Amino acid sequence: MEFSIYRFNPDTDSAPYMQSFTLPDDQIEPGMMLLDALLLLKTKDDSLGFRRSCQHGVCGSDGMNVNGTNGLACIMPLANLKAPVVLRPFPGMPVIRDLIVDMDNFYRQYREAEPWLINDSPEPEVERLQTPEDRDRLDGLYECILCGCCSASCPSYWWNPDRFLGPAALLQAARFIEDSRDQATEHRLERLDDAYRLYRCHGIMNCTQVCPKGLNPSKAISDIRRTMIKRSV
Amino acid sequence: MKLTTRKFDALIIGAGGAGLRAALQLSNGDARVAVVSKVFPTRSHTVAAQGGVNAALANVLPDSWHWHMFDTIKGSDYLGDQDAIEYMCRAAPKVVYELEHFGVPFSRLDDGGIYQRAFGGQSQNFGKEQAARTCAAADRTGHAILHSLYQQNLRARTHFFDEYFAIDLIKDEAGYVLGVVAFEILSGEPIVIEAKTTLIATGGAGQIFRTNTNSLSNTGDGMAMALRAGVPLEDMEFVQFHPTGIAGRGMLITEGVRGEGGFLINSEDERFMERYAPQAKDLASRDVVSRAIAIEVREGRGCGRNKDHVLLDMRHLGADMIMKKLPGIREMSMTFLGVDPIEKPIPVFPTCHYSMGGIPTNRDGQVVVPVKDTPEDPVPGLYAAGEAACVSVHGANRLGGNSLLDILVFGRAAANHILEFLKDNRYHRPLPQGSVDQALERLSRWERKGDGEAVEPLRQELRKVMEDHCGVFRTAEVMQEGVDKLRVLRERIANAVIRDHSQTFNTARIEAMELENLMDCAMATMCSALGREESRGAHSRVDFPERDDERWLKHSLYSLLDDSMDYKPVRTQPVSVESFPPKKRVY
Ligand SMILES: Cc1cc2nc3c(=O)[nH]c(=O)nc-3n(C[C@H](O)[C@H](O)[C@H](O)COP(=O)(O)OP(=O)(O)OC[C@H]3O[C@@H](n4cnc5c(N)ncnc54)[C@H](O)[C@@H]3O)c2cc1C
Ligand code: SF4
Ligand code: SF4
Ligand code: FES
């Protein structure tokens, strides 16, 4: 199977280039994932750079652009990929080396969303109660693994990385706005009510299409807008 | 070259559940705390934990911390330290309520309380009916906990060194640990992080086995750092093989599946656990279930073309229940096997999962070593918590749901003790340059060029040796051969080279340094296993099939120096209640 992989090492390369790799067919086993293939290619060239850890789609380390679409290498079956498989780092994020990108801005936006539960009433000795229905409203929001696939596929994020929060951070904002235990809804909505932070989203839906966890940031964003409008009338 | 130096009150190596729980306690306690992690915090292995965390909340069935304590001691095959176990089980409800207050999105019961499910080895009334003690956020409990803890640390403004690789501890002549030498993965630049206290929370070493449920980053770095600093490792022979890893691949299928009513079947469609554990059946302790599966396969009742696994059946639970309570399992099964567990059972086999052993600590998280006549003398300034540590609450076999509890309870306890230590130790001690240079040498060693074996094939060989010579069933002969093979591998690793010598995000160098750590942990495991001539918990000796309390009710201590073994007594005295004396273990 043929691969074409984006290579760039700032220590030695003046410009990025695409490099061809071949994985012999006898090394390919049924059920193999793209990450397994990358790990094999790395045994031949130990300078090939990519992040990875859990190997089953929960840690969010190995997001990359595969044949034009962002995804996690560890849960992409090789059998579903068209060869030559073209691998690039996330678009719209600065490249550190090969498939490794600098995610500082992505994490900064995450922090901007103030992704922590705020509840300043006295702490009970036991758990705060939450009905199963209220808890259900967090499904589809809390499972985000911060892989960055969504934000790195969002055109609004590419153009305004400094001011638009991007789908991942906005999904976090929604997760806390929806949480019946959180008392800072007003404050959260006020912070988002800005021409850029929230309103740069044009509903292009790339984010929802690529999310490897099947989450729907686009819907979360429109839900926040709806809540905002409801509050203002 | 000028070496960057940073100074903090408290340093934490590792940003999994143990590290982040400790960090939060310290940040809220107004200590200047730094957390170093080789992966971005939310990518730590804790994120993969599925089933839940144990606490006797009694939200679903009657429960008490004392029953939890009994189950944990019995599960440990009486090797657990009863003072630490009492402390953990008593603290459990408080620690879980705190998590809830931090924002963890636990699943809920109709009355709004935290959802609890049944897990293996849990009972009411000291061994009677099944209990339901495992607090769960669907089957993503680890994710829910790790993200919430990270979020609260952001709120508390903890200082993070993300993607920094810790090389070795700094230790002075008087035996104080004064921080760590690390390097920034991005730039390759070394850095000295000085601290009045250092907490090792680097997680387990599951990668020493070929098939395992662990993240690639679980390479036992902290355990190996401790060894190199002269601290022995405790009870390393006790490696948990989880009964239900996806056959041939290793991904974990949580015990929660059996807790919700799923069961195991062999090629004859028989629920074989009824024969091995008439009362608890599929929810017997993990060591018991893993051995049962291995025996079924060995005796020819395995499933599939090669008769090399058994099946985990949950079809009778129904689609609703599976989608609500086990959505992550379904997703994983469909991705990796193309099998929807609503329609077909999942092929499973015992898989290396968890390190019961680790860095010896007391219940305040202080690292303790034998000095002359005291078996447990604290190393000043050094703490350990989480899977890297051995308190020991798991003894010879850990119960499901007790590890998340362990990392939280003892991460927190260590932080509380650190705050006390800081009151009496207000100033940084002078930096011992020799110790720093030694650590730097371990980094520069990989700049060596020329001929030499590559890292990855050596790693594969190491993991194969462990699987072949130190698996579910063990004998002296096979393990002795294993030790010999490991000794040869150790020499070969010392001469290995990498081809990539660049500075920016050099992953080849990280993998090489991880291999050295794996090597030390593997040797500790094999030597400890060879030493223990009895069968207890996860350690099954074909040549010594019985538990032998007379000779072996004691903890193993492996030291790097000459690969030597030493032993120390089990703490059989709890803090406030009566001791549970060893009994025959039946489920
Ligand atoms: C698939 C799976 C499911 C599980 N499910 C459950 C469950 O349901 N219930 C339960 O109780 N337990 C469960 N466990 C066990 C439990 O998840 C782990 O034991 C626990 O999370 C370990 O936490 P930790 O904080 O000790 O370490 P980890 O979460 O492993 O964190 C280790 C940290 O150390 C850092 N680190 C390591 N080496 C270095 C270095 N050299 N330099 C810098 N940083 C370093 C890493 O970056 C990471 O941040 C499960 C385990 C697995 C494998
Ligand atoms: S829907 Fe909004 S956030 Fe999602 S990709 Fe489009 S513009 Fe970006
Ligand atoms: S929303 Fe989905 S794609 Fe975006 S960071 Fe979270 S898990 Fe990744
Ligand atoms: S390696 Fe963890 S998500 Fe792929």
Q: Sheet holding B564-569: strands in order across?
A: B233-234, B554-559, B564-569
Closest ligand to C-alpha of residue A54 is 4
Instruction: Look up residue B226 and give its two tokens.
Output: 């401790």
CA dist A99 and A72 (Å) reads 12
**Which residue of the set B210, B286, B330, B398 is catalytic?**
B286
What are the tens digits of pLDDT across the range B370-396? Answer: 998 888 999 999 999 999 999 999 999
Mean pLDDT, chain B, rounded, equals 96
pLDDT for A200 equals 80
Closest ligand 1 atom, CA of B39? 47
Specify the CATH number of the domain B244-350.
3.90.700.10
Which residue from A51, A59, A57, A37 is spatially nearest to A89, judged by alpha carbons?
A51
Query: How do B4-13 and B190-200 pair as beta strands?
Result: parallel
Q: Residue B429 C-alpha to ligand 4 middle, in angstroms?
A: 41
Q: Which H or E element spans position B6?
A: strand B4-13
The pick from A138, A147, A206 for probing ligand 3's pocket by mutation, whose C-beta has the most ligand atoms within 8 angstroms, reads: A147
Q: Which residue of B has its CA nearest to A61?
A: B43
- N- to C-terminal Cα distance for chain A? 59
The structure's pTM equals 0.96
**Contact between residue A203 and residue A139 where contact means Cβ atoms under 8 Å apart:** no
Which chain B residues are within 8 Å of A125, Cβ to Cβ?
97
B133 belongs to the catalytic site = no
Q: Nearest by CB to B508, which of A46, A52, A54?
A: A46
- N- to C-terminal Cα distance for chain B? 62
CB contact under 8 A, A135 and B105: yes
What are the tens digits of pLDDT across the range B18-77? Answer: 999 999 999 999 899 999 999 999 999 999 999 999 999 999 999 999 999 999 999 999
**Contact between residue B263 and residue B282 where contact means Cβ atoms under 8 Å apart:** yes
CB contact under 8 A, B45 and A54: yes
pLDDT for A204 equals 77
User: Which residue of A51, A56, A106 to mutate against B (max B Cβ within 10 Å)?
Assistant: A56
Which chain A residues are within 8 Å of B507, Cβ to Cβ?
42, 46, 49-50
Q: What is the DSSP secondary structure assignment for residue B386, as one 8-state letter? A: G
Reduced to 3 states (helix: H, G, I; strand: E, B; else coil), residue B235 is coil
C-alpha torsion sign, points A194, A195, A197, A201: positive
Residues of chain A with pLDDT under 50: none
Instruction: Look up residue B137 and give its two tokens.
Output: 């956020």
CA distances from B134 to B119, B318, B394 (A): 7, 21, 16
What are the tens digits of pLDDT across the range A139-185? Answer: 999 999 999 999 999 999 999 999 999 999 999 999 999 999 999 99
Number of C-beta neighbours around residue B546 at 10 A: 9
∠ CA B472-B476-B480 to the nearest 5 degrees?
Answer: 105
CB contact under 8 A, B103 and A131: no
Which chain B residues are within 8 Å of A131, Cβ to Cβ?
108, 112
Query: Residue holding tokens 């002269």?
Result: B230
Question: DSSP for B465-497?
Answer: HHHHHSSSEE-HHHHHHHHHHHHHHHHHHHT--
Q: What is the DSSP secondary structure assignment for residue B272, as one 8-state letter? A: T
pLDDT for A194 equals 82
Confidence of residue B243 (pLDDT cuts 50, 70, 90): very high
Residue B162 has pLDDT above 70, yes or no: yes
Q: Nearest by CB to B140, which of A56, A119, A143?
A: A143
Q: Which H or E element spans position A64?
A: strand A63-66
Q: Inform me whether the C-beta atom of residue B455 falls under 8 Å from chain A C-beta atoms.
A: yes
CA distances from A199 to A150, A160, B33, B154 (A): 17, 11, 37, 25
C-alpha torsion sign, points B49, B50, B54, B57: positive
Reduced to 3 states (helix: H, G, I; strand: E, B; else coil), residue B549 is helix
ipTM surpassing 0.95: yes
**Contact between residue A40 and residue A27 where contact means Cβ atoms under 8 Å apart:** yes
What are the tens digits of pLDDT across the range A97-118? Answer: 999 999 999 999 999 999 999 9
pLDDT for A233 equals 66
Residue B2 has pLDDT above 80, yes or no: no
Mean pLDDT of B456-470: 95
Structural domain boundaries in chain B = 244-350, 446-548
Q: Which residue of B has its CA nearest to A31?
A: B336
Residue B577 has pLDDT above 80, yes or no: yes
pLDDT for A232 equals 75
| Beta-ladder partners of A22 | A2
Helix count and strand count (H, E) for chain A: 8, 7
Mean pLDDT of B468-484: 95
Radius of gyration (Cα) for chain B, nearest Å? 23
Residue B519 has pLDDT above 80, yes or no: yes
CA distances from B432 to A108, A117, B426, B428, B435 (A): 37, 43, 18, 12, 6
CA dist B60 and B115 (Å) reads 8
In this structure, of B103-107, B279-283, B507-511, the range with the lowest mean pLDDT score is B279-283
Which residue from B58, B56, B64 is spatially nearest to B125, judged by alpha carbons?
B64
Query: How do A85-88 and A2-7 pair as beta strands?
Result: parallel
pLDDT for B1 equals 58
- Cα torsion at B33, B517, B532, B203 (round to 10°)? 40
pLDDT for A199 equals 76
| Beta-ladder partners of A17 | A7
pLDDT for A55 equals 94
* Contacts by residues B334-338 (CB-CB < 8 Å, ≥ 24 positions apart): B335/A56, B335/A57, B335/A75, B335/A77, B336/A31, B336/A33, B336/A56, B336/B246, B336/B249, B336/B251, B337/A31, B337/B246, B338/A31
Residue B341 CA to its chain's centroid (Å): 28
Confidence of residue B500 (pLDDT cuts 50, 70, 90): very high
**Contact between residue B255 and residue B286 where contact means Cβ atoms under 8 Å apart:** yes
Q: Inform me whether the C-beta atom of residue B108 falls under 8 Å from chain A C-beta atoms.
A: yes
Mean pLDDT of B334-346: 93
pLDDT for B248 equals 84
Fold annotation for B446-548: Methane Monooxygenase Hydroxylase; Chain G, domain 1 (1.20.58)
